[in-house]
Structure 1
């Protein structure tokens, strides 16, 4: 895993740590957190999505679309990321 990949995973988890339970972030927020000073954060959008997928595989987060949990392998279009909570059990 590259330094950027690790930074994106950390950014996702840090952003979620500052949200109330059940609230989501956009992966673009993580990309901007890693590269805040210019427009190059846009280049990190797919790596940020990949970081979110790795965190899903680790059981740390879920990916949502339209408020519903979706399979990260088949999700297309804008996604949101949420910490795993008691409402995701089961």
Structure 2
């Protein structure tokens, strides 16, 4: 089991199934329903890798933010 890849896949799958945004916790819960809190930072890291690959954007308050400097709650969406 490759948790990093599983989180990236979860983010991509969740976004494919929804028209809006997701929270990193959605991906963490998909990968580990009972221990998802331990995966919050890895889920954010997976989102940052997908940003670097040009697949997703990270937002706060509906605005795209730099994933390396964003603090607090973020949302993930497909690139527009």
CA offsets per residue over residues 4-25 of structure 1, 9 Å max, x none?
A: 00000000000000011xx100
**Structure 2 stretches lacking a partner, 5+ long:** none
TM-score normalised to structure 2 length: 0.97
Number of residue pairs matched? Answer: 80
RMSD: 0.9
CA offsets per residue over residues 18-59 of structure 1, 9 Å max, x none?
A: 011xx10000000000012x2x11000000000000000000
Give the greater-gyration-radius structure (CA).
Answer: 1
**Structure 1 stretches lacking a partner, 5+ long:** 86-90
Q: Aligned to 1:51, which of 17, 22, 46?
A: 46
Structure 2 residue 25 is matched with structure 1 residue 33: no
